[in-house]
């Protein structure tokens, strides 16, 4: 799979930096006192949430290939590594034009443990952007694709810009 880790907030931490700055400004200006003047009724819970978030010492995600995210149980990460690939784009069974780019759908007790089911979940979550990335990677080659991705990220692209508003993983884990 290729989700462009370098553009993901779990990998680069921009959200925590933004939350830290917002908390610093609001706390420093005593927004709890003046919030009502700006239509911010009940701002106290938001400040507490921001403070809790910025104090959380979780490390940044190194990416799936290096053991980040759910890679310990992810069927895609296990498959790619077992074949010695960096991405699904290198696999001869990858078919980007199909409803299921990975033909191996074997429902597992945990959806992310099955590579076909995980592929479908990721396609929904990232609005098919991951498939576009895999197609580019397949056409350009891995190193050229990485150069292209770095340029795109330098220009401001971030993963959160393509994430669906659906509760994809929440729904899948309820099944």
Q: Note the pLDDT tens digit of each residue in 88-116.
A: 888 888 877 776 677 766 666 677 777 77
Question: Is pTM beyond 0.85 here?
Answer: no
| Mean pLDDT, rounded, of the chain | 85
> Which range, of 24-33, 70-79, 88-97, 108-117, averages the lowest pLDDT?
108-117
Higher pLDDT: 171 or 97? It is 171
Q: Where are the domains of the chain?
A: 10-55, 63-174
Neighbour-count burial of 8, counting CB atoms closer than 10 A to its CB (0-12 exposed, 13-18 middle, 19+ buried): buried
Of 107, 154, 167, the residue nearest 6 (C-alpha): 154
């Amino acid at each position: 799979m290729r989700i462009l880790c370098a553009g993901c907030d779990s990998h680069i931490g921009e959200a925590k930096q933004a939350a830290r700055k917002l908390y610093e400004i609001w706390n420093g200006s005593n927004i709890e006192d003046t919030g009502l003047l700006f239509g911010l009724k009940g701002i106290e819970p938001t400040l507490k949430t921001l403070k809790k978030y910025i104090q959380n010492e979780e490390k940044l995600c190194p990416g799936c290939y290096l053991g980040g995210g759910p890679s310990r149980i992810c069927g895609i990460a296990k498959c790619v590594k077992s074949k010695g690939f960096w991405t699904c784009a290198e696999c001869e069974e990858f078919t980007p034009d199909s409803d299921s780019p990975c033909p191996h759908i074997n429902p597992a007790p945990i959806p992310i443990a099955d590579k076909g089911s995980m592929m479908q979940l990721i396609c929904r979550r990232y609005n098919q952007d991951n498939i576009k990335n895999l197609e580019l990677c397949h056409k350009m080659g891995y190193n050229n694709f990485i150069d292209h991705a770095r340029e795109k990220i330098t220009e401001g692209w971030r993963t959160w810009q393509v994430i669906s508003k659906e509760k994809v993983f929440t729904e899948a884990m309820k099944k």
